[in-house]
Structure formats: structure tokens, C-alpha cells
Chain A
Amino acid sequence: MLHFMKIGWILPAIFLCLLQTGCSSETELGNTTIVSGLFLDYSTQESKYHLVAEIVDMTEKSEKSPDSKNKLSVLANTVDQAFFNLKKQVSSPLYFSHAKLIILGESLQEISLKPALQYLMQQPKINSDIPLVATDISATEFLETDLSCKDIYEQLAKDDEQTFKLYQIPFLDSKSYVLPRISFGENGVEEQSQALFSIHKIQEVFQGEDWVIYLILTKKCPETIWHVPSGNIILQEAKSTRILQDDTLFIHCNIVVEGYLLDTVSEKNIEALKHEITHSLTQKTTAFFHRLTSVEKIALFGNTKYSNIEKINCDFQVEIQNNVAR
């Protein structure tokens, strides 16, 4: 009886395991087509979604170069259909889990990312942590280049330590989100910026100081250089709050900076530097808000309430760290 009771505990465990997975999900390595990257776009000429999949060609791997890649291209009326057509192009099951990057074409960004995001989020075989990148080229142009998603990813990941950030697939209900944006030149990725999406459509491209202001206001201050008339300072840390009262936006921000000024012993000099920083940040922040609120339907920081702002009251409290050269 005791033995039956013990087996009685094991059987549900086996059934639970069998429910979790099964032989049906078996895709044996060596018998799969490994996808290393995807390029999703919308062809305005043909009014169809354009999907380019970069696959690792194992048969050529040993004979040619270790990174020899093949690009498969499909057109379809829907994103689902595009992926379905892609599966028909290869003889073995597609494997997406080691894909490095999903690049979103310019036309797709303008139409809407929603159908693409919807498909990507619904597919269990596509990891939700694959980085998304927006670009200013089309899928057709991407097909013509020698660029590979792996190379692009490696270049972006190298820059990631500085100011560039790779973001995962955003949630469908996000009113706004920011994705990294890249431009291509002859030597691969040439220009990097950030694209602000509102209601899944591209609204604004941040570059340089705009991007730093955006990060300061979202409490993700990067360790970056900021220019003031007295010289360069390094932004270290920022804690900001935003309060909207009627048509006035109150911004309070405590910011820690590190300066490269030679003479910081004098309190007067330090106060002057603080003033310069405060003035510069206030000016840039005000300009940032005025420019963005002029764009219709923008959901800045995920909220459309900022579109009614008329006055901006900035209060920057700057703390200068003293561990500088004297």
C-alpha cells in the first residue's frame, strides 16, 4: 500500500511534466535552420510586408568562412503570412532562439509596428529578449548590402557601454517607447540615434543632447559629457520628478556632476559653474519640451497629457564632486 502511495505522488509529477512539453516540440540540432537575424519592413510599392531572414548556412560553414550567411526574402500581406511563407522556403524547422537582432525598416516604422510586435510577442519560439533596432533603410536595400545582423549587433553592443542602449521587444500596450535607431554607411553602422515611438509609429528621433535630456527626465542618466562655456563636465547621476499643474510643468532634478576645471577651490568658481550647468540644462530642457509638444499625438513618457504644456518651470540642483584636478 505504501509503495502505491509513493507511486501515486510520482504519477502526477510525470503528467505535469508531459503537459509542459512533449515530443512535438522536438527540433534536433543539425536538422534545423538557424536564424541569426530578421529584417522586417513594409513595401509601399507592393503594399506588402517584407521579411528578410538571415540564416546560418551550416553546409557552407566549413568550406567557406565561419560566418557565411544566407538571406531569405519573402513578401506577404500580413506579418503572419510572411513568417509562414518563410517556413516554406526552408526544408527544416526554423530556429529563432539564437537570433541576434530584429531590424525594423523605415516604412514599417511609419505605418505601424503593432502587427509585427503582435506576431513577435505571440510566438513562443521567438524570445522576447531579442533586441529591436529601427533603421532608415528598406529591406530591399538591406538585401543588397553585405551587412549581417551579427556584425550590426556586435557593433551596437560594443557601443552599448557608452550611450547606446539596445531594447527588447516592447509591450503591445505601451503608448510610447524608445528604440535604438541606426543609419548605415559604407563601413556598416555609421550614425546612431534613438527613435521615439508613439502608438507604435515613429514620432521623433533623438540625437546628442536631446537624448541626454530624455534620459535625465526618465531617471536613466548616462555617464556622459555635457558642454558648458567653462569647459566639459561629466553627468554622473540624476534624480528627477515631473509635476504637471494646469498648463505648467514643474521639473525638479538633483544632478551630480564631475568637472574638469582646474580651479575649483574657490567657492565663487564652483557657484559660477553650477549656474552654467543649471542654465544650460534648463535651456535645453525647455527647448526639448517645446519641440516635442508641438508634434501632434505624441505620448511623451507614455502619456499624452504633456501636449498641453505652456510653461515649464525647471529646478536643477547641481552637486559638483570635488575629486577633480586642482
Chain B
Amino acid sequence: MNFSTNLQENIKIFQGIFKDNCMIVFRYLENASDSSLKAIAIFADGLVGAGLVNDYVVKPFVINPSLKNQVDKLSFTKNSVLQSNDIVVISSYEDCIKRLFSGDVIFFLDGYQTPLAVNARFPATRSISEPENEKSLKGPREGFCELILFNTALLMRRLKNDKLKLESFTLGNRTKTPVIMAYIEGICHPDLAAQIRTELSRINTDAITDTNQIAELIKAKPYSPFKTTGSTERPDAVANKLLEGRIAILADGTPQVITVPFLFNEYFQATDDYSINFYFGSISRLLRYLSFLIAVFLPALYLAAVKFQQEILPEKLLYSIAESRLNVPLSATMELLVFFIFFEILREASARTPSIIGQTLSIAGALILGQTAVEANFISVPAIIIVAISGLCCNVLPQMRGALLICRLGILILASAIGIYGVILGAAVIILHLADITVSHTEYLNEMLPTTKGSLWDIYIRGPYRFLKQKEDYLSREN
């Protein structure tokens, strides 16, 4: 679509486009010194600061006495009249709409076909606060917000480095969401940057409202339950990832920033590990590995022991389980499956309800319903303990929850059919699947079996800082 040199025609065009949008404001302007000098400022109410529009556009244009004497009035207006720090000449209709919804004022001067975009943005967003889901005990309290400008600012403040690159993309045919790909040149491997750049450019979708959509669209194994992109709301975590040679992808409208590549051992790392003493950090990390094993294998091992390999149970435990299962009508498999579903419904319900009611709901669900189910012989006590422990261990690894659920269910079904051999088979399938995943030229399990002595310090434990490698070789081969 082309604009006209006639101001009235341009107004008609815009009024036609936004006839059903009450938030688009058309402000007619006339120069006080020369009433023939007319202009219009078009902006979206709420995205611009009212005072900023007055100060940057309205007042300077209306009261300027020398504009009438200029030959190239548009150029003079851009360079000497309007007061904003960011004024650009718009070349296309698409750019004009994008700028308008980003909070710029579209300024048409009568007699000129090309409009100006004047930055008078007033960022309406919540303040920077600590992420609810990634609280840190001793680390920084800052978290990303929904505004991409703030998020990039938080990153730049942490990485005062001329090698920090922030490449801009616009994704979503309808949403035109600004997306930024951040990396540190010299640390990030150029092939990795080129690959992500290509993958982002290939995205062809109507709407991008969340980084998780981008994560799914660029995922190495689209049908795998395991993540190949990291996700965090913490600027310090993203800064650390960039320093390791990874790439961060930020999108406007979401505080979640994704990092690529995401390897299996990252599930077990937490920002807090680096904020506390390395002994405690190491113990926490080992506990996370243990939680993973318990969450995936404990229910299946219980089932195998109860149904097939009772020999592995100590005598007293055997009697205890046998006694508690005596009057339970459901089979051990059904008992676990039913209670797992119940547990997940409970978790979903408490997550979706307001926090205070959610807590009450969890307690009521866990205590009252669990107790009643046992008393009614609907479920045995060991099954409740197994499901509860397994569920708790799932919560230790919130990023892996979906994968844990699927793995646990799969191994549970195998164990119910062939006992301990099912558990072994399930474990083998999981390991084979994980070994099969390659994320941006890097094996998913690469860090789990490190080839260099130094890299061992930050995998299964959090070693002292003096031993930690600052840059990972396989991600930053150039360096």
C-alpha cells in the first residue's frame, strides 16, 4: 500500500484501517506561524506517553516559527523540530503498522508521502521482580519482565562486552512479535549462531505470543518429551549461558527466555548452586540426580517387586506390603495408575487455583482424601507412599516434569507386564533415546560423559570456582 502526498487522503486511509479501533488517536496539527503547514500525529493510546507526545511532537511542531521558510520541510522537521531521540522515515505500510503498535507516533506532514515514526513509547509493564518459579535463596532477585527492551537492558547490564550481539527478528505473520537472538561473538560457535539464525528465519506462523512456541518450532526432536531448549526468567542465568557459548532467544510479551542448546545435565543445574558454598551446591545437585532416578524408577521397581520379584524385598517389608494389600480391590498396577492420575489432578487443581485456596486444596486432597482412601481399603499405604515420594521428586525437577511423567508411566506399564526386566528395558530405551538426540551439533548426553578432567567439576557436583571451566570447549571451539 502506498501513501499519498495529500494529508487528507492519508488520514482517510488510516481512518479506514482503524475504523473499529477506538484506541487509535488522530491529532491534527497546524503550525502557529503558518496555518498552511498541516500535519497529523497518529498514535495508539496507552502505548505512548501523553506528555511525551506533547513534548516530542505537538508542541515543537505547533510553535516552530522557522519551519515555513524551509525548502525540505520533512527533513527539517525530522532533524530540527521533533524532539525525540529516535525518529525514522517509514518506507512501507507494514513498517508503519508495526511502529504504531510498538508505541511510536506516526507523523504525516502535508505534501509529503513518507511518514515519520517518532519514538514516544511509554512502556506499560510490571516492574522487575523476582521470578515466582525460580526463586533464589542467595542469588540475584531480578527477573525478566514482559518488555523485550527491559530484558535486553538487563542482559547488557550484566555483559558489558562489545562482543555481545543482539540480532533482531520479527516473528508471527499477524502478531509481528519482536524477537531477539543474543550471543557473545567469539564464545558462541559461528555454526551454532548461523543454525539458530536460519531456524528463526524459517519460522512461518501466524502468532508468536510466547518463547515456548519458538522452542517447539526449533526443537531438534519434535516428538521427544525431553527439552532441547532451556527456559528461564533469570537474567543472571541467561548471562551465564551466554558466557558458556549458548544462544538466548528473547521475545516481546513474555518473561521466559530460551537458551540453545540445552543439554541433559542442565536439568540438574540451578542458579542457586553457584550462589552457595560448593559443598552444599554439590549435595543439592546430587539430590536432584537422585530425585530423577526415584521419580522414574521407584514406582516401577515397587510394582516389579510386588508382582514378580518379591524375593528382593526384605522379610518385614514383604509382610508389611502383603498385609496392607490384603483387602485392596484393585491390582497393584491399577492402584498406582489410579493414584498417579489422582495426584496429577490434585497438582493441576492446586496450580490453577489462587495460591491460598490452592494450598488448602493440596492439604485437603493429600491428607483427607489419602487417609480416607486407605481407611476404605481403596488403596494401600505403600502405594500412597510410592506415589507421594515419586511426585515430590518430580517437583525437584520442574523443568523435566513432563518428561518424567511420560518416562514413569512407560516404565510402569513395562514393569507391570514383565517385572524387573521391564524396568531394565525401559531404562535402556530412555538411555538410547537420550543418546540419539543431537542439539545443534552437540550430543544431548555430551556433558554426562565428559572427555576432559576439568569439565567433570560442574556436572555431577558443583566444584569450587577455581576448577570450573569458564567456557565449554565443545560449544566454543573457536575460542
Mark A residues whose CB is within 8 Å of B: 6, 9-10, 13-14, 17-18, 20-23, 25-32, 34, 56, 58-59, 61-62, 95, 97-98, 127
Q: State whether the Cβ of B424 lies closer than 8 Å to any Cβ in chain A.
A: yes
Q: How many A-B contacts if CB must be within 8 Å?
A: 79
Given A62-B323, A98-B318, A26 and B307 contact (CB-CB distance below 8 Å): yes
Q: What are the residues of chain A within 8 A of B424 when measuring CB–CB?
A: 17
Nearest chain A CB to B251 CB, angstrom units: 33
Interface centre among B313, B322, B428 (most CB of A within 10 A): B322
Q: Decide: B306 and A29 in contact? CB cutoff 8 A.
A: yes
Given A21-B308, A58-B326, A61-B323, A29 and B421 contact (CB-CB distance below 8 Å): no
Q: What are the residues of chain B within 8 A of A10 when measuring CB–CB?
A: 428-429, 432
The distance in angstroms between the C-alpha atoms of A13 and B414, with both chains bound, is 13
Q: State whether the Cβ of B239 lies closer than 8 Å to any Cβ in chain A.
A: no
How many B residues have CB within 8 A of the partner chain? Answer: 30
| Cross-chain contact of B308 among A9, A25, A31 (Cβ < 8 A) | A25
Nearest chain B CB to A11 CB, angstrom units: 11
Residues 423-452 of B contacting A (Cβ, < 8 Å): 424-425, 428-429, 432, 436
Given A29-B325, A30-B325, A34-B318, A6 and B306 contact (CB-CB distance below 8 Å): no
Given A34-B318, A98-B310, A58 and B323 contact (CB-CB distance below 8 Å): yes
Q: Decide: B418 and A21 in contact? CB cutoff 8 A.
A: yes
Q: What are the residues of chain B within 8 A of A98 when measuring CB–CB?
A: 310-311, 313, 315, 318
Nearest chain A CB to B252 CB, angstrom units: 38
By DSSP majority rule, is chain B's interface helix, strand, loop, or mixed?
Answer: helix
Q: State whether the Cβ of B235 lies closer than 8 Å to any Cβ in chain A.
A: no
Q: Decide: A27 and B307 in contact? CB cutoff 8 A.
A: yes
User: Interface code B312-356, partner A: CB below 8 Å = 1, 0 otherwise?
Assistant: 010100110111111010011000000000000000000000000
| Cross-chain contact of B322 among A6, A21, A23, A30 (Cβ < 8 A) | A30
Interface centre among A21, A56, A61 (most CB of B within 10 A): A21
20 contacts between A and B (CB under 8 A): A10-B432, A14-B425, A17-B422, A20-B418, A21-B419, A21-B421, A22-B418, A23-B417, A23-B418, A28-B306, A29-B322, A30-B323, A30-B326, A31-B325, A32-B310, A34-B319, A56-B319, A56-B322, A58-B323, A62-B323
Q: Can you name the residue of chain B whose Cβ is closest to the Cβ of A9?
A: B432
Q: Decide: A34 and B418 in contact? CB cutoff 8 A.
A: no
The distance in angstroms between the C-alpha atoms of A30 and B333, with both chains bound, is 13
Q: What are the residues of chain B within 8 A of A59 when measuring CB–CB?
A: 326
Q: Decide: B318 and A28 in contact? CB cutoff 8 A.
A: no
The distance in angstroms between the C-alpha atoms of A295 and B306, with both chains bound, is 51
Q: Which 9 A-B pairs have the closest CB atoms?
A: A30-B325, A17-B421, A97-B311, A29-B322, A29-B306, A30-B326, A58-B323, A17-B425, A26-B307
Q: A29-B306, A34-B322, A98-B315 are in contact. List 8 more A-B contacts (CB 8 A).
A: A10-B428, A26-B419, A28-B332, A29-B322, A56-B319, A56-B322, A58-B322, A127-B311
By DSSP majority rule, is chain A's interface helix, strand, loop, or mixed?
Answer: mixed
Q: Can you name the residue of chain A whose Cβ is closest to the Cβ of B319?
A: A56
Q: What are the residues of chain A within 8 A of B425 when measuring CB–CB?
A: 13-14, 17
Q: Can you name the residue of chain B whose Cβ is closest to the Cβ of A16?
A: B421
Q: What are the residues of chain A within 8 A of B418 when measuring CB–CB?
A: 17-18, 20-23
The distance in angstroms between the C-alpha atoms of A32 and B322, with both chains bound, is 8
The distance in angstroms between the C-alpha atoms of A9 and B324, with both chains bound, is 41
Q: Can you name the residue of chain B whose Cβ is closest to the Cβ of A22?
A: B418
| Cross-chain contact of B436 among A6, A23, A28 (Cβ < 8 A) | A6
The distance in angstroms between the C-alpha atoms of A56 and B436, with both chains bound, is 49
The distance in angstroms between the C-alpha atoms of A28 and B313, with both chains bound, is 13
The distance in angstroms between the C-alpha atoms of A61 and B306, with both chains bound, is 19
Q: What are the residues of chain B within 8 A of A17 when measuring CB–CB?
A: 418, 421-422, 424-425
| Cross-chain contact of A20 among B313, B323, B417, B421 (Cβ < 8 A) | B421
The distance in angstroms between the C-alpha atoms of A68 and B432, with both chains bound, is 49
Q: What are the residues of chain A within 8 A of B323 when measuring CB–CB?
A: 30, 58, 61-62
Given A17-B418, A17-B422, A95 and B436 contact (CB-CB distance below 8 Å): no
Nearest chain A CB to B153 CB, angstrom units: 45
Q: Decide: A27 and B310 in contact? CB cutoff 8 A.
A: yes
The distance in angstroms between the C-alpha atoms of A98 and B318, with both chains bound, is 9
Q: What are the residues of chain B within 8 A of A32 when measuring CB–CB?
A: 310, 322
Q: Can you name the residue of chain B whose Cβ is closest to the Cβ of A3?
A: B436
Q: What are the residues of chain B within 8 A of A58 when measuring CB–CB?
A: 319, 322-323, 326
Nearest chain B CB to A64 CB, angstrom units: 13
Interface centre among A6, A13, A30 (most CB of B within 10 A): A30
The distance in angstroms between the C-alpha atoms of A272 and B214, with both chains bound, is 93
Nearest chain B CB to A311 CB, angstrom units: 51
Nearest chain B CB to A70 CB, angstrom units: 14
Given A28-B332, A30-B321, A34-B319, A97 and B326 contact (CB-CB distance below 8 Å): no
Q: What are the residues of chain B within 8 A of A62 when measuring CB–CB?
A: 323
Given A56-B319, A97-B311, A98-B318, A28 and B331 contact (CB-CB distance below 8 Å): yes
Given A21-B308, A58-B323, A127-B311, A30 and B421 contact (CB-CB distance below 8 Å): no
Q: Can you name the residue of chain B whose Cβ is closest to the Cβ of A62?
A: B323
Nearest chain B CB to A8 CB, angstrom units: 12
Nearest chain A CB to B253 CB, angstrom units: 37
Nearest chain A CB to B479 CB, angstrom units: 33
Interface centre among A9, A29, A32, A59 (most CB of B within 10 A): A29
Q: What are the residues of chain B within 8 A of A30 when measuring CB–CB?
A: 306, 321-326, 328, 380
Q: What are the residues of chain A within 8 A of B422 when measuring CB–CB?
A: 17
The distance in angstroms between the C-alpha atoms of A14 and B323, with both chains bound, is 33
Q: What are the residues of chain B within 8 A of A95 when measuring CB–CB?
A: 310
Q: Can you name the residue of chain B whose Cβ is closest to the Cβ of A34?
A: B322
Nearest chain B CB to A66 CB, angstrom units: 8
Nearest chain A CB to B209 CB, angstrom units: 33
Nearest chain A CB to B339 CB, angstrom units: 16
The distance in angstroms between the C-alpha atoms of A27 and B422, with both chains bound, is 16
Q: Decide: A6 and B319 in contact? CB cutoff 8 A.
A: no
Q: What are the residues of chain B within 8 A of A28 when measuring CB–CB?
A: 306-307, 325, 331-332
Q: Can you name the residue of chain B whose Cβ is closest to the Cβ of A25?
A: B308
Q: What are the residues of chain B within 8 A of A97 when measuring CB–CB?
A: 310-311
Nearest chain A CB to B383 CB, angstrom units: 11
Q: Can you name the residue of chain B whose Cβ is closest to the Cβ of A2?
A: B436
Q: Can you name the residue of chain B whose Cβ is closest to the Cβ of A30?
A: B325
Residues 397-435 of B contacting A (Cβ, < 8 Å): 417-419, 421-422, 424-425, 428-429, 432
The distance in angstroms between the C-alpha atoms of A6 and B433, with both chains bound, is 10
Given A17-B421, A20-B421, A58-B322, A6 and B432 contact (CB-CB distance below 8 Å): yes
User: Interface code B463-479, partner A: CB below 8 Å = 1, 0 otherwise?
Assistant: 00000000000000000
Q: What are the residues of chain B within 8 A of A26 when measuring CB–CB?
A: 307-308, 419
Q: Can you name the residue of chain B whose Cβ is closest to the Cβ of A32?
A: B322
Q: What are the residues of chain A within 8 A of B311 when measuring CB–CB?
A: 97-98, 127
The distance in angstroms between the C-alpha atoms of A174 and B241, with both chains bound, is 68
